[in-house]
C-alpha cells in the first residue's frame, strides 16, 4: 500500500513516521512537501506528523492547516482515505476542520515529555482494530500544547458516538475528560497527541504503537 507523509517547515517527526511506515509496509512512504497541491495517486494512508510547523506561530497548527497541500488532504479524507495526525498533526487536523475541538497550552504551562499510559476506548476503527477495548498501552508524549478542549456538547457527542479513541489513564496535560485521541464521524481520521511511531520496536522501549500501523496495513493492503 502506498502511504504519504506530509512535511511542513518545522516538522521534526516526519522521518520517525516514515521509518515506522517503512518498517511495517516494507516500502518507503512518499514524502509530500507542504507546497504541493496534489497527492500522488492511489495513496492508501496519509500521515500528518508531529513537530512545530511554522514554529507554532499564531497557534499550533494554524498556519500549516492553510498550506496548499491541506486542501488535498481534506479532499482525500472526505473520500474515505485514512488520515493519521500525531501531535502537531492532531493540532493541524483540528485547525483544518477535519476534527472538532482545539489543542491548548498544557495545564501548568509545562512541556511534557515521557511515556504515558493510554486506555483504548474504541477498538473498532481502522487505526485501533488490533487493540483490545479497555487495554492500557504505553506511548510517549512530547508536547506543550496538548490540552484537548471542546465544549460539553461536543465532548458528549464524541463519547456518545464512540469517537474517543484513546484516553489518558491519569492526568497528563489537563485535556478535557483525559482525551488523548479522537476520530472523525466516519472513523477514517484519527488525531492523537501521543506518538505511536516512536513505539514500534522493542529497542524503543516497547512496540505498542506498531499494532496501529499493522492494523492499518491488514485493512488497507
What residues are labeled active site?
Answer: 87, 195, 197
DSSP codes of every residue in 134-201: T-EEEEEEEESS-EEE--HHHHHHHHHTT-EEEEESS-SS--GGGEEEEE-TTS-EEEESS-GGGSSB
Q: Which of 144, 164, 48 is nearest to 101 (CA)?
A: 164
CB 93 within 8 A of CB 191: yes
CA distances, 117 to each of 38, 78, 91 (Å): 37, 31, 21
What CA–CA distance (Å, rounded) separates 212 from 31? 20
Q: Which of 55, 47, 49 is nearest to 73 (CA)?
A: 47
Give backbone dihedrals phi and psi of 157, rounded to 5 degrees, phi first: -65, -45
The CA-to-CA distance between both ends of the chain, in Å, stands at 5
Beta partners for 167? 119, 179
Amino acid at each position: 500500500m502506498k502511504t504519504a507523509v506530509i512535511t511542513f517547515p518545522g516538522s521534526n517527526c516526519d522521518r520517525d513516521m516514515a521509518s515506522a511506515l517503512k518498517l511495517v509496509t516494507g516500502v518507503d512512504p512518499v514524502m509530500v512537501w507542504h507546497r504541493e497541491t496534489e497527492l500522488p495517486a492511489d495513496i492508501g494512508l496519509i500521515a500528518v506528523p508531529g513537530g512545530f510547523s511554522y514554529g507554532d506561530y499564531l497557534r499550533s497548527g494554524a498556519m500549516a492547516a492553510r498550506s496548499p497541500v491541506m486542501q488535498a488532504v481534506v479532499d482525500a479524507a472526505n473520500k474515505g482515505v485514512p488520515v493519521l495526525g500525531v501531535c502537531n498533526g492532531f493540532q493541524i487536523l483540528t485547525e483544518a476542520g477535519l476534527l472538532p475541538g482545539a489543542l491548548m497550552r498544557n495545564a501548568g504551562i509545562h512541556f511534557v515529555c515521557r511515556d504515558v499510559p493510554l486506555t483504548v476506548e474504541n477498538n473498532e476503527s481502522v487505526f485501533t482494530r488490533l487493540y483490545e477495548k479497555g487495554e492500557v498501552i504505553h506511548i510517549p508524549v512530547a508536547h506543550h500544547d496538548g490540552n484537548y478542549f471542546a465544549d460539553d456538547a461536543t465532548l458528549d457527542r464524541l463519547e456518545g458516538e464512540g469517537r474517543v479513541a484513546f484516553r489518558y489513564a491519569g492526568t497528563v496535560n489537563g485535556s478535557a475528560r483525559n482525551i488523548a485521541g479522537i476520530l472523525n464521524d466516519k472513523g477514517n481520521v484519527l488525531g492523537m497527541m501521543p506518538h505511536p511511531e516512536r513505539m514500534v520496536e522493542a529497542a524503543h522501549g516497547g512496540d505498542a504503537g506498531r499494532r496501529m500501523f499493522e492494523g492499518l496495513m491488514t485493512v488497507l493492503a
